[in-house]
Amino acid sequence: MKLGNCEVWIACDGEPLPEYAVTVEGDDGKQTSCFVPSEAGKKFAIHFRNNCRKDILRFGKRLDGIRYGVTSVKPGCTRNYWGVRITPTSRRPYQFSHLMTTDDDSSLGHDEHPGLGTIHIQVYRIKRVPISGQAVDPCYTAPKTAGPVHERSKKVGVHCVSLGEEIQVEPVGVSRYNESVIDPTEGPVATFIFRYRPLAILQAQGIAPRPDPGSQCGESEAGPSQQTSESDRNEGRLPEQEERPAKRARLDAKAKADPGDVKPDIVNVESDDNSDDDELNELKVLNRPAAAHSEQD
């Protein structure tokens, strides 16, 4: 999805997920939402693009209503994050999973997961201030994931976000700056809400088209574009590395572009010099005491 100078999309296996029922919400037009299909066991990455000329943008992530830190992107650059660092040299990837259930009646009537089934991204303009003095070592922790719901709950049959097995990555360095919102009174410049559901549910609700019976492959025309950039094929690489943006699936299945007319996007590739700082600032937000949490992260 794209809103103003920001773009956010979700990819599985290096392919952007199709976006259905894209809607601009709110009186100020600063919030947009869509539905995307999820498949249990599939790992995914969240991609962020900053189309601003001069402002650094910070993308705050909430998955199933749970805080998952922030990603800062320089002007004209694109980044992706595919998991959470839990040790200096390992990450656990994001993945879709079946929601666990329980027969404990005490859990009935309690909506403990109001954000279940959503990937919520808020975007703020920020500034960076160099750190003076000795840097503080980061603290690693994995956010909690959505717990079980009662087997008679209406949420049964949907998916949730979980963390996969550890993957070894390069160690993070020492942060050299702090980040702060440029204008706290401005609020988020954009909000993206991805509502993920099993494809069968989206089709049953008329949100996603059913496959064409005459199609040999049985895929929906609204599926991901087959013209995918090399950066999306390399989704499994370290999240600190920069990439070129992928071509996302469009809602209008009938408007298929001629491959000969497709021109590659030209973007600035952000230097890796600040990759450690970016990740350490994410860890700072993840480990901030609950009382200090605000909507600006």
Per-residue confidence at 36, pLDDT binned at 50, 70, 90? very high
Please give the Cα distance from 199 to 131 (Å, whole number): 47
Least confident of 56-65, 71-80, 103-112: 103-112
Any domain includes 173 = yes
CA atoms within 13 A on the CB side of 93: 23
What would the two tokens of residue 34 be?
């869509």
Q: For residue 294, give every residue at least 6 positions away whose Cβ sits within 8 Å of its Cβ, in sequence order, or none.
A: none
pLDDT tens for residues 257-282? Answer: 444 333 333 333 333 344 444 544 44
User: Nearest Cα to 108, choosing from 151, 77, 78, 143?
Assistant: 151
Per-residue confidence at 151, pLDDT binned at 50, 70, 90? low
Least confident of 39-53, 140-154, 248-262: 248-262
Instruction: Tell how strand 44-50 and strand 6-12 pair up.
Output: antiparallel
Best-predicted range by mean pLDDT among 69-78, 81-90, 131-140, 143-152? 69-78
Any domain includes 258 = no
pLDDT tens for residues 224-257? Answer: 333 333 433 343 333 443 444 444 444 444 434 4
Any domain includes 130 = yes
Average pLDDT, rounded, for the chain: 73
Using the predicted structure, report yes or no on whether residue 199 has a pLDDT greater than 80. Answer: yes
Any domain includes 26 = yes
Any domain includes 16 = yes
Per-residue confidence at 135, pLDDT binned at 50, 70, 90? low
The pLDDT score that the predictor gives to residue 184 is 87
Please give the Cα distance from 101 to 120 (Å, whole number): 24
Higher pLDDT, 243 or 20: 20
The Cβ of residue 78 has, within 10 Å, a number of other Cβ atoms equal to 24
Any domain includes 111 = yes
Give residue 201's domain range: 2-211+223-247+264-292
The whole-number average pLDDT for the span 50-68 is: 93
Any domain includes 269 = yes
Q: Are 101 and 185 in contact (CB under 8 A)?
A: no
| Strand, coil or helix: 260 | helix
Could you tell me how far CA 93 lies from the centroid of its own chain?
12
Using the predicted structure, report yes or no on whether residue 195 has a pLDDT greater than 60. Answer: yes
User: Nearest Cα to 277, choosing from 79, 110, 32, 145?
Assistant: 79
* β-pair partners for 67: 62
The pLDDT score that the predictor gives to residue 129 is 85
Best-predicted range by mean pLDDT among 95-99, 146-150, 223-227? 95-99
Any domain includes 198 = yes
Please give the Cα distance from 87 to 139 (Å, whole number): 9
* β-pair partners for 9: 47
pTM (whole model) above 0.75: no
Beta strands in the chain (DSSP E): 2-3, 6-12, 15-16, 20-25, 31-38, 44-50, 56-63, 66-73, 78-81, 83-87, 90-98, 101-102, 118-130, 149-150, 159-163, 167-168, 177-181, 190-198
Report the number of distinct structural domains present in the chain: 1
Question: Vertex 161, ends 85 and 168: CA angle to 5°?
Answer: 25
Higher pLDDT, 128 or 247: 128
Distances (CA, A) of 78 to 73, 89, 228: 7, 23, 15
